[in-house]
Amino acid sequence: MAGFKSFAEIAEVEIEPGMTGIVGPNGCGKSNVVEGLRWVMGESNARQMRGGEMDDLIFSGTDQRPARNLAEITLNLDNSKRVAPAEFNNDDDIEITRKIERGKGSSYFVNAKPARAKDVQLLFADSATGARSSGMVSQGRIGAIVGAKPNDRRALLEEAANITGLHSRRHEAELRLRGAETNLERLDDVIAGLIEQRDSLRKQARQASRYRSVADRIRKAEAQLLLAKWTAGETSLGNCEADLHSIRLNVAEKTEAAAKSATRRAELAATLPPLREAEVAKAAEYQRLSIGRDELDREEERIRDALAKLHTQQEQIGRDMARETELRDDATAASGRLGQEIIELQKQIDEATPQREATNLELEVARESVRLTEAALAEASAKLRAAATTRAALANRIADLRNRKNASENALAALDITSMAEQAKTAQAALVTAEILYEDKRGALERAENALSDAQASTETAINAQRDAEANLTRLQAEIDALQFLLADTGNPDEVPVADLLSVKDGMEDALAAYLADELGAPIDAGVHSYWRTLSTKSDLNPPEGSLPLANFIEGTSGLNATLAGVGVVDDAAQAESLQADMRPGQALTTRNGGLWRWDGFVRKASGNDKSAERIRQRQRLDVLQKKAMQAASDGTARQEAKADAEKNLAKCRDDMTTTRAEAGAAEQEFAATRRTAESESLKLQSAKDRASDLQTALDTMSTELLSCEAEAAAMGDDAALKEAETGARSAAEAVRENLSEVMQTVSRLNELIRSTTQRMGECERERKAWQDRLDGAARRVTEMQNRLGDGEREQGRLQALPADLERQRHEMADRLEVAAEKRQQAGDALQQAETALASAETAQRESDTALAGERETLIRTEGQLERVRETMSALRENIAEKLGCEPQDVATIAEISDPVSLPDVHTLDDKVQRLIRERDNIGPVNLRAEAEMEEVATRIASMEEERDDLLAAIAKLRSAISQLNREGRERLLRSFAEVNGHFKALFKQLFGGGNAELQLTEADDPLDAGLEIMASPPGKRLQSLSLLSGGEQALTALAIIFAVFLTNPAPICVLDEVDAPLDDSNVVRFCDLLRDICSKTDTRFLVVTHHRMTMARMDRLFGVTMEQQGVSKLVSVDLQTAERIRDAAVA
Q: What is the pLDDT of residues 574-587, one digit of tens each?
A: 888 888 888 888 88
What's the pLDDT score for residue 609? 60
Residue 716 — very low, low, confident or very high, per pLDDT cuts 50/70/90? low
1055-1104 pLDDT tens trace: 998 888 888 888 888 889 888 888 888 888 899 999 888 999 889 889 99
558 belongs to a structural domain: yes
What's the pLDDT score for residue 100? 92
Task: Indicate whether 537 pLDDT > 60.
Answer: no
pLDDT (average), residues 889-912: 77
Pick from 202-216, 412-426, 509-523, 985-999 the range whose average pLDDT is largest: 985-999
Q: Tell me the pLDDT of the chain averaged across its residues.
A: 79
Chain centroid offset of residue 839 CA: 80
Closest of 1099, 1045, 1044, 1104 to residue 1068, by C-alpha: 1099
Share of the chain above pLDDT 90, in %: 4
Share of the chain above pLDDT 70, in %: 92
pLDDT (average), residues 24-28: 88
What's the pLDDT score for residue 567? 87
What's the pLDDT score for residue 490? 42
571 φ/ψ angles, rounded to the nearest 5 degrees: -75, -40
pLDDT (average), residues 689-705: 76
Task: Indicate whether 526 pLDDT > 80.
Answer: no
CA gap 423, 417 in Å, rounded = 10
517 belongs to a structural domain: yes
641-669 pLDDT tens trace: 888 888 888 888 888 888 887 888 888 78
Sequence-distant (6+) residues with CB within 8 A of 129 are 41, 135, 1051, 1052, 1053
What's the pLDDT score for residue 556? 67
Measured distance between the N- and C-terminal CA atoms of the chain, rounded to whole angstroms: 40
CA gap 56, 68 in Å, rounded = 11
280-314 pLDDT tens trace: 777 777 777 777 777 777 777 777 777 778 778 77
707 belongs to a structural domain: no
**Higher-scoring residue by pLDDT: 487, 980:** 980
Task: Indicate whether 494 pLDDT > 60.
Answer: no
pLDDT (average), residues 615-641: 82
Task: Indicate whether 47 pLDDT > 90.
Answer: no
Measured from the Cβ of residue 671, the count of other Cβ atoms closer than 10 Å reads: 21
548 belongs to a structural domain: yes
862-875 pLDDT tens trace: 888 888 888 888 88
Measured from the Cβ of residue 286, the count of other Cβ atoms closer than 10 Å reads: 19
What's the pLDDT score for residue 108? 93
SS3 246: helix
**Higher-scoring residue by pLDDT: 103, 610:** 103
Residue 1130 — very low, low, confident or very high, per pLDDT cuts 50/70/90? low
For the packed helices 417-487 and 611-715, what is the interaxial angle rounded to 10 degrees? Answer: 170
* CB 732, CB 375: distance < 8 Å: no
Residue 557 — very low, low, confident or very high, per pLDDT cuts 50/70/90? low
DSSP line for 286-334: HHHHHHHHHHHHHHHHHHHHHHHHHHHHHHHHHHHHHHHHHHHHHHHHH
pLDDT (average), residues 893-919: 77
Measured from the Cβ of residue 335, the count of other Cβ atoms closer than 10 Å reads: 17
Read off the DSSP letter of residue 517.
G
b vs e for 90-127, b when ≥16 Cβ sit within 10 Å of the residue's Cβ? Answer: eeeebebbbbbbbeeebebbbeeeebeeebbbbbbbbb
pLDDT (average), residues 229-241: 80
Chain centroid offset of residue 531 CA: 76
Parallel, antiparallel, or unpaired for β 567-570 and 1011-1017? unpaired
pLDDT (average), residues 587-594: 85
116-166 pLDDT tens trace: 988 888 888 777 788 877 778 876 777 777 778 877 777 777 777 767 666
421 belongs to a structural domain: no
520 belongs to a structural domain: yes
What's the pLDDT score for residue 975? 83
* CB 587, CB 543: distance < 8 Å: yes
981, amino acid identity: N
Residue 1046 — very low, low, confident or very high, per pLDDT cuts 50/70/90? confident
| Global pTM value | 0.37
When mean pLDDT is compared across 34-43, 86-95, 404-413, the lowest value belongs to 404-413
Residue 837 — very low, low, confident or very high, per pLDDT cuts 50/70/90? confident
953-984 pLDDT tens trace: 888 788 788 778 778 877 887 888 888 889 88
Residue 1131 — very low, low, confident or very high, per pLDDT cuts 50/70/90? low
What's the pLDDT score for residue 164? 64
519 belongs to a structural domain: yes
pLDDT (average), residues 688-702: 76
1012-1029 pLDDT tens trace: 888 888 887 888 888 788
What's the pLDDT score for residue 96? 93
Domain count within the chain: 1
pLDDT (average), residues 176-203: 82
Task: Indicate whether 59 pLDDT > 70.
Answer: yes
What's the pLDDT score for residue 706? 76
Task: Indicate whether 925 pLDDT > 70.
Answer: yes
pLDDT (average), residues 341-364: 76
When mean pLDDT is compared across 263-267, 399-403, 879-883, 1042-1046, the lowest value belongs to 263-267
What's the pLDDT score for residue 97? 95
The angle subtended at Cα 1109 by Cα 1104 and Cα 1112, nearest 5°, is: 65
Per residue, the 3-state secondary structure of 109-133, as one string, reads EECCEEECHHHHHHHHHCCCCCCCC
Range of the domain at 543: 508-591
Closest of 493, 496, 499 to residue 519, by C-alpha: 499
Sequence-distant (6+) residues with CB within 8 A of 934 are 198, 201, 202, 205
Sequence-distant (6+) residues with CB within 8 A of 95 are 74, 75, 76, 77, 109, 110, 111, 112
For the packed helices 150-160 and 164-414, what is the interaxial angle rounded to 10 degrees? Answer: 160
983 belongs to a structural domain: no
pLDDT (average), residues 542-555: 82
- Give Dmax (Cα) for the chain: 189
Pick from 21-25, 378-382, 997-1001 the range whose average pLDDT is largest: 21-25
